[in-house]
Structure 1
Amino acid sequence: MAEANDPENTILLETSKGTVTIKLRPDLAPNHVARIKELAREGFYDGIVFHRVIDGFMAQVGCPKGNGTGGSDKPDLKAEFNEEKHVRGTCSMARSSNPDSANSQFFICFGDAPFLNRQYTVWGEVTDGMEAVDKLERGEPVRNPDNIVSMKVMADA
């Protein structure tokens, strides 16, 4: 594990390939972090598949339809673009071409993706378990997708 975790700002992401620990960054994107925690606490992410997993790029999850076309029933979020770089382990919100359309879908970067910097809202970073992310089934769409077994705020676990 990385540094001592703040339980209220740490996500425990149990995937079909193993456990991933994510440090939330409310200093970068307070509204996006609040949404991730709210949806995790409601059990929204439990059972949702990684529908888009591109080798060397990222693994995307968070669509209740399992195909990238849906989100939660909550309103879309205003962008909170920041200076944090998209590098291996970065957690960032997916969106449509509208910058203010992030809702529930997010992605975890496999490697550096500088073309995403300041275009997508970074809200966290993987501090442990990146090897589980590396094992996710690839595809766009993924034929036999892996899923989130459970996603919890550490303070609630």
Structure 2
Amino acid sequence: MRNLLIAALTLAAGPALATGLEIDVTGEAQGTITVDLFEDVAPQHVERITTLAEEGAYDNVVFHRVIDGFMAQTGDVEYGKEGGDMRMAGRGGSDLPDLPAEFSDRAFERGVVGMARSQSPDSANSQFFIMFDAAPFLDGQYTVVGQVTDGMDVVDSIKRGTGPNGAVIGQPDKMEEVRVIQ
């Protein structure tokens, strides 16, 4: 009876959120980036990222905007697929609705993963970025979703953008596969 009750309570609680991601990167950068996701800080954003990763939406999506000393941005599942129109990369999202901001007191430091958005604080959808260095001007303005725990050497080797606003010209590095880890 006790085991049945525990099983019923577990099912009623719903699925457990992921604890992280493994991102296999190919191109000039080669290797795996491991990210610890902060479901306690940004539960809706973490759920979105894990949903898209589980669906394979992030597979073969490029790092379209990479600014040395600042960040590497990816996650445009609409226009950012390898072989797509890179002139549009960074303008798209998923078919899911935009998310309300989940700002926190977590600082944007080296290795922090944040959600990209437009001018509206409530416009994050699928795109995210990984910090090369600290950027305190982002603190409290963007949603922090996680922290790189392994593979910062891979992040550091992602091809930098040379175009307007850090756009990557030529063949950008890509997330070949993104896996959810428990």
Query: Which of 88, 97, 107 is the aligned partner of 1:75?
Result: 97
Once superposed, what is the RMSD of the aligned Cα atoms?
Answer: 1.0
Provide the secondary structure at the position in 2 that maps to 1:71.
coil
The SS at the match of 1:152 is: strand
Which runs of no fewer than 5 residues in structure 1 stay unpaired? 1-6
Q: Which protein has the larger Cα radius of gyration, Structure 1 or Structure 2?
A: 2
Tell whether 2:116 aligns with 1:94: yes
- The one-letter amino acid paired with 2:168 is V
The ranges of structure 1 where at least 4 consecutive aligned residues each deviate by more than 2 angstroms after the TM superposition are none
Q: Which residue of 11, 15, 21 corresponds with 1:11?
A: 21
Structure 2 Cα separation of the partners of residues 133 and 123 of structure 1: 17
Q: Does 1:25 align with 2:47?
A: no
Matches within 5 A, 1:7-156: 8-16=18-26, 17-64=30-77, 65-66=79-80, 67-139=89-161, 140-143=166-169, 144-155=171-182
Query: Could you say what secondary structure the match of 1:28 adopts?
Result: coil
Task: Provide the rounded CA distance (Å) in 2 between the counterparts of 1:87 and 1:8.
Answer: 22
Higher relative contact order (CA 8 A, sep 6+): 1
SS in 1 for 2:61: coil
Indicate the residue corresponding to 1:4 in structure 2.
Answer: none
State the one-letter code of the partner of 1:152: R
Aligned-residue identity in percent = 54
Distance (Å, rounded) in 1 between the aligned partners of 2:123 and 2:46: 15
1:8 deviates by 3.0
Q: What's the CA shift for 1:33?
A: 0.5
Q: What are the Cα deviations for residues 92-131 of structure 1, in whole angstroms up to 9, with x where unaligned?
A: 0000000000000000000000000000000100000010
TM-score, normalization by structure 1? 0.93
